[in-house]
């Protein structure tokens, strides 16, 4: 018996081989949840080299892992820049399993092209970050929230935010703005949905040891004549040096907090934004 037996969780951006979305999916599935995972089909050039080497197949591979845990899994390809696909994702999840109990807004725009000063930031990149990181989360909350309200059994919504939701870093105007906005969306949705016993919270990781693809890191690796894998590994080691607990987070550190917020025990917590950062930021 697991604490999520009979529950269904929908998770966006869950196809990464070492991503936070996959870690959340496996954590909840291991405790009994059936899972709807979604992602979008990325060109090979936009994939981490580790995934290419491992012949990783995004949500198809994650679905096999979930099914190996004895849980059911629906995989849905959904491009979060297209509103109709977001609405369809919620509808397909509800019609396949009959209900949705947990929503995890985890996807984000592929980072790197945003990493310029605000005067050099293109409106296109700005718009893409707001669209995927903020508007798509709103639309998922809107469509899945309606389904949860109709079900009448409450629900859990968790937005994966960032330390960038609380403090800006240089050359991150689009990412920072999109993630600050996610906290506003979390608080406002928490108030609107409280009467239905649907809680809405955010989790704010600091640096995480994922293989996430980053255009800036790919460029830097080339300039330094290093492989992207080696450069990424050096970024992770360097980031860990400034963390009081001595390392960056693992995806599972984030999934542990997500799992608590999705549980019955977290029923009186809503509108909050929890840090998972090893002590780098306190508010
Ligand atoms: N990795 C970190 O260091 C870190 C730190 C703080 C916060 N976060 C947050 O954690 C979450 C997960 O990050 P990650 O590093 O595991 O994964 P990631 O950066 O690889 O992105 C998550 C997923 O979003 C998907 N995605 C991108 N564009 C999409 C689109 N148009 N439609 C649908 N899906 C799309 C990607 O395919 C990917 O699987 C993100 O919200 C991120 O902001 C990550």
pLDDT of 112-130, one tens digit each? Answer: 999 999 999 999 999 999 9
pTM > 0.95: yes or no: yes
From 108, 164, 240, 274, give the residue whose CB has the most ligand 1 atoms within 8 Å, as the site to mutate. 108
Q: Stretch 156-164: mean pLDDT, rounded?
A: 98
Euclidean distance between CA atoms 243 and 231, whole angstroms: 19
Task: Tell which atom from ligand 1 comes closest to the C-alpha of 18.
Answer: 16
Taking residues 213-224, report their average pLDDT: 91
CA atoms within 13 A on the CB side of 37: 32
Who contacts 209 (Cβ-Cβ below 8 Å, separation ≥6)? 18, 236, 247, 248, 249, 250, 251
Q: Write the DSSP symbol of residue 110.
A: P
Catalytic, 18? Answer no
Domain that holds residue 187: 8-212+249-276
Residue 278 contacts residue 246 (beta carbons within 8 Å): yes
What distance in Å separates the CA atoms of residue 158 and residue 162, rounded to the nearest whole number?
12
User: What confidence tier does 94 reach under pLDDT thresholds 50, 70, 90?
Assistant: very high
Residue 9: its H or E element: strand 8-11
CA atoms within 13 A on the CB side of 108: 24
Query: Does the Cβ of 278 fall within 6 Å of ligand 1?
Result: no
pLDDT of residue 212: 82
CATH number at residue 26: 3.40.50.720
50 lines ligand 1 (CB under 6 A): no
Pair 254, 24: CB distance under 8 Å: yes
39 CB within 6 A, ligand 1: yes
Tell me whether residue 154 is in a domain.
yes
Task: Please give the structure tokens belonging to residue 43.
Answer: 């060109």
| Range 67-94 average pLDDT | 98
**How many separate domains does the chain show?**
1
175: annotated active-site residue: yes
* Residues pairing with 214 in the sheet: 111
Task: Kindly give the number of the ligand 1 atom that is closest to the alpha carbon of 160.
Answer: 41
DSSP-derived secondary structure for 197-226: TEEEEEEEE-SB-----BHHHHHHHHHTT-
Catalytic residue among 7, 166, 175, 274: 175
Instruction: Please check whether residue 44 lies inside any domain of the structure.
Output: yes
Asked if the structure places residue 204 within a domain, the reply is: yes
Instruction: Please report whether residue 189 resides in a domain.
Output: yes
Residue 59 CA, ligand 1 centroid: distance in Å: 13
């Amino acid at each position: 018996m697991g604490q999520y037996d009979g529950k269904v969780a929908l998770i966006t951006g869950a196809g990464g081989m070492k991503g936070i979305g996959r870690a959340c999916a496996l954590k909840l599935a291991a405790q009994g949840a059936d899972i709807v995972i979604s992602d979008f089909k990325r060109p090979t050039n936009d994939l981490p080299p580790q995934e290419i080497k491992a012949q990783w197949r995004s949500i198809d591979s994650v679905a096999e892992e979930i099914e190996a845990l004895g849980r059911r899994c629906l995989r849905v390809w959904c491009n979060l820049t297209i509103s109709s696909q977001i609405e369809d994702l919620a509808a397909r999840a509800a019609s396949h399993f009959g209900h949705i109990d947990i929503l995890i807004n985890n996807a984000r725009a592929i980072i790197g092209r945003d990493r310029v000063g605000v005067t050099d930031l293109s409106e296109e990149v700005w718009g893409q970050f707001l669209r995927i990181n903020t508007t798509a989360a709103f639309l998922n909350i809107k469509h899945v929230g309606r389904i949860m309200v109709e079900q009448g059994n409450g629900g859990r919504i968790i937005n994966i935010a960032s330390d960038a939701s609380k403090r800006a870093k240089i050359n991150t105007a689009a990412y920072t703005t999109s993630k600050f906005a996610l906290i506003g969306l979390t608080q406002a949705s928490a108030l609107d949905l409280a009467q239905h016993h649907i809680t809405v919270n955010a989790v704010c990781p600091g640096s995480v040891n994922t293989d996430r693809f980053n255009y800036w890191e790919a460029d830097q690796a080339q300039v330094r004549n290093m492989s992207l894998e080696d450069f990424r590994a050096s970024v992770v080691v360097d980031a860990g040096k400034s963390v009081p607990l001595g390392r960056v987070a693992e995806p599972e550190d984030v999934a542990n907090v997500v799992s608590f917020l999705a549980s019955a025990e977290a029923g009186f917590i809503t509108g909050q934004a929890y840090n998972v950062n090893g002590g780098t930021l306190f508010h």
